[in-house]
Structure formats: C-alpha cells, structure tokens
Structure 1
Amino acid sequence: MTITETRRQAPQSVVARALTKVYGQGDAQVHALRGVDVSFATGAFTAIMGPSGSGKSTLMHCLAGLDSSTSGSVHIGDVELTGLNDKQLTLLRRERIGFIFQAFNLLPTLTAEQNIRLPLEIAGRQADQMLFDRVIETVGLRDRLGHKPTELSGGQQQRVAVARALISKPQVIFADEPTGNLDSRSGAEVLSFLRTSVRELGQTIVMVTHDPVAAAYADRVIFLRDGMLVSELAQPSPQSVLDTLMKLEG
C-alpha cells in the first residue's frame, strides 16, 4: 500500500479539490492557485513549502476561510466552505480552526492565561480544565501564566499563542511562519511543542514555512510551484527538504 493510498484511507480534516485563485482581471490577472488537489490527514503535521510566489500563503488562506477561492472546493471536516456567508465563516473559524501567526497577536493588557482563554470567552464556552492543564504542561508555561506579553520572551509569547490555538480543541490549526520572528532555539522549542500536540493530543496542524529545518518537524511536506502542487515528502529531513526546494528553484 502506498503512502498516498494510506492517507486517503485515513480520516481527513481538510480537503481541497480543483482549487483555483485568480487575482485581477484581463492582462493584470495573476493565477495564484491552479487546480490544487490536496488533503490533510487528521492527527498529522503537514508543512507547505515552495519558492516565493508559489502560492503557499494563498493556499493556506483559502483552506482556512480567510480568503475565498475563484473555483473549486474546500472542506473542513464535513463542512464545505464554498458558499458560506461571512457570519457562517466567522463561526466556522471560531469553532473548528486555530491560528498561529508569525506575529504573536497577543493582547498586551491581558496575562498569558487570559490570552490563552480569550477565544473560549469570546465563544461563550468554558475551558476543559483537564485539557487546559495538559496544554499548559505541553508548552511549559505553568510558571508564566500570570505574566503579560511584555514580561515574556518571544519564544514564550509564541508558546502562549500555541496554547491559545490548542485550548479550543480545533479540528485543524493553521500556522503561518510560526517561527519567523524567533531565534533558532526558541523556534525549535515551539516546533517541538507543535509536534508534541500532534503526537499526544491528536491535533491536526498545517504549517506554511520557508525553513527546511522547521519543515523537518512535520510528518509530511507538500511543495508548490507556480500555484500547482508539484511534489511531496514523507518523514522529511532538513536535507531532503532543501534538495527538493533547490530542484524547484533550479
């Protein structure tokens, strides 16, 4: 049985079919995505890579409902994003999706714990205390919960952002260059926490990155070029990722 066949049989948290995205009109048209077919298995860590302008950020934004596709379909679990109105998309993102961005996006007046619990409060939901405790232990923040963002290092702030994304038990977490503002040590810590959340909490993570070392923390890497899915790696290493990128850019 091939890797692709195995993945098809596994439950899928996100599925895109014939996904296209066109910006502009006439001679100014830019085809950011050109008929992308891709799926992301539940409980797996997938990285999206490609040269600058390959469409990786556009793909993530369309998968997460942050941008609409020109044609094709996206499913988050059993819900198709196509045709949802703004209110429905907002509800879907709140209930099913977690986000981790390069900028930590923490509220400076709130403590780490308050920032972590904020999405649940906005949704009018109570935190699962057992899950909260497990997440806090996973990201190593127990002694930092009362600190405000200015009292935390960049790595600690991003760990707060990771915990905030995990605490609502989303169907999938989208991470956009989550280590882009971190030094190598802090970045490695955050990536380890993400990988642990997949292994121990069964979380599904889709991460855009340009860093082969970051991508090697994933179970699988998919590669885009000129808006098309052109290659993928299972169980990647930094060297195998770098070699693939060099072939794409060559």
Structure 2
Amino acid sequence: MTTAVTIPKSGGSGERSAVAARARQVTKSYGTTEDTRVVALDAVDVDIARSGFTAIMGPSGSGKSTLMHCLAGLDSVTSGQIWVGDTEITKLKDKKLTQLRRDQIGFIFQAFNLLPTLNALENITLPMDIAGRKPDREWLDRVIETVGLAGRLKHRPNQLSGGQQQRVAVARALAARPEIIFGDEPTGNLDSRAGAEVLGFLRRSVDELGQTIVIVTHDPVAASYADRVIYLADGRIVDDMANPTADSVLERMKSFDARGRVS
C-alpha cells in the first residue's frame, strides 16, 4: 500500500505550487541479481507541503533515510520521478543536479559539519560565499534572530555548545532561502534540552519564515514538533498522521514489531 496526500497547485496567477517536493512511484533497489536484490523503496507516492514541517519515521531498514536522500537528490532512484518545486530532478545531469542542491536545498545533519577555523557568521554564509552570492542582509538578520545567535556570531565552533553549533547549522541551511530543508536526525547528537531548542527553532522557521522542513527521526518528541508524520515500513508508506503528539507517535510506533513490520 502507498499513501499520497495530494495538495492542489495554486491558481494560474503565477503563484508557486503548494507542494515543495513530490515523488511518484519511486522505487529504489540495491543488488544486481534477484538473489541479492534489496528493495529500499517500493513504489512510493508522496507530496511535501510547502511551508510545512514533515517528519519521516519508521523502524531501522524501513526506507526512511533512503526516501529523504532521494527527495534531496543525494541518491538516485531505480524508477519513478521526483520533483523539487517544478523541476524534475530525476532527469537532471550531475552538474545541473549539483547546482539545484546548492541553490534550492538545505541540509542539517547529526554532525554539525562546521569549519573550526571560521566563526559562526562565516560558517552560516559559507555556502553562499562558495557560490559567489551575497546574502540578503535583511533575511540573514531575521534568520539569526530566529535561531537566537545574535550574541554568538564571532565565536568559533569550539567556543559554542553542541546546541549552539547545531543552531549555526540550522541558520546556515536557512540563510540561502532554499526551496526545502532536509534534516537527518538533526538532534541525534544533542541532549534533550539542546534538542528541544533546535526543534523549536525549526518550528519557528516554518511558522515565522515560511520555510519547508523535512526531518528523518526516530524520536517521538522530535516528531511532535512537525505538522505531519509519514510512517514507512518495508519501503512503503503505511500511515500519514496530521497534528502529531509525542504520545500519538509513540503509540503508532508500537504497532511495528521488532522486524520492522506492521502488526
């Protein structure tokens, strides 16, 4: 079974679609023979709402990270189609795909990936500096205010706590105003207090800045910050929950047995 929530496009007045990314019949498999073939994604259909916060969950081996990597253009698909905005990324050549990831996609990972020789502000603007683009100063100031880094911009990573370093990583992802931001367990290396701070900033970036966020997480509390939780098992979407709470997410996760199958 696959699940798709279809969000209609805006009217014909030049407005952007209400969908930031979408997948149609996406399959990803590994192995070259029938005996070695492993299906990580099995004909997945999904739409990611613009200016929304989506969490992807599921047991180990369910395909949740594979789905995120394919949506982000970090991994190719075996079959099917993926769009980011109005661009079908599954047809792009490597150079165009690299440019799209640079210009339209932001990433936040468990490892903060900050350069130790640069201060916080320099780390935030680094991707734009590499691309030869000047940051929009008004937007950059809003991002820095949203993540609460105004007093830490001259500090280098070793002068910041783990939570502050991840805030820098969040600000770096937001600063270029990408089409969509993907987070792979973005609070996985943080304690509960620092994790809650970072999740709060992600929530604010959606509510106050109109950003689109997609995270992969195993944590029901992290998922409760999202507008929507997509559940995967055996490479397929098996549930789609709106307005999650930590308790409702935990209860849903209990329906997966130890092998990652739906009971």
- TM-score where L is the length of structure 2: 0.92
**Structure 1 SS opposite 2:177:** coil
Residue deviations 1:119-167 (CA, integer Å, cap 9, x gap): 1111111111111111111001011100110111000000000000000
> Which of the numbers 16, 25, 47 marks the counterpart of 2:32?
25
Does 2:173 align with 1:165? yes
Q: Percent identity?
A: 64
Which position in structure 2 is the counterpart of 1:62? 70
Does 2:219 align with 1:215? no
Which position in structure 1 is the counterpart of 2:22? 15
TM-aligned CA deviation for residue 25 of structure 1: 1.8
Q: Distance in 1 between matches of 2:143 and 2:250?
A: 32
Q: Distance in 2 between matches of 1:22 and 1:142?
A: 45
Residue deviations 1:45-88 (CA, integer Å, cap 9, x gap): 00000011000000000000000000000000010011211111
* Gaps in structure 2 of 5+ consecutive residues: 11-17, 258-262
CA contact 2:22–2:83 (8 Å) conserved in 1: yes
Residue deviations 1:8-34 (CA, integer Å, cap 9, x gap): 457100000000000012211110000
* Gaps in structure 1 of 5+ consecutive residues: none
Report the RMSD for the aligned CA atoms in angstroms: 1.2
> Which of the numbers 29, 34, 48 marks the counterpart of 1:40?
48
Aligned residues: 247
Does 2:81 align with 1:81? no
TM-aligned CA deviation for residue 214 of structure 1: 0.1
Larger relative helix fraction: 1
Residue deviations 1:75-122 (CA, integer Å, cap 9, x gap): 000100112111111100011000000100001110000000001111
Q: Which aligned segments of 4 or more residues in structure 1 are displaced greater than 2 angstroms?
A: 7-10
Q: Distance in 1 between matches of 2:141 and 2:132?
A: 20
- TM-score where L is the length of structure 1: 0.97
Which position in structure 1 is the counterpart of 2:15? none
> Which of the numbers 242, 251, 257 marks the counterpart of 1:234?
242
Does 2:129 align with 1:128? no
Question: Which amino acid in structure 2 is aligned with residue 217 of structure 1?
Answer: Y
CA contact 2:5–2:47 (8 Å) conserved in 1: no
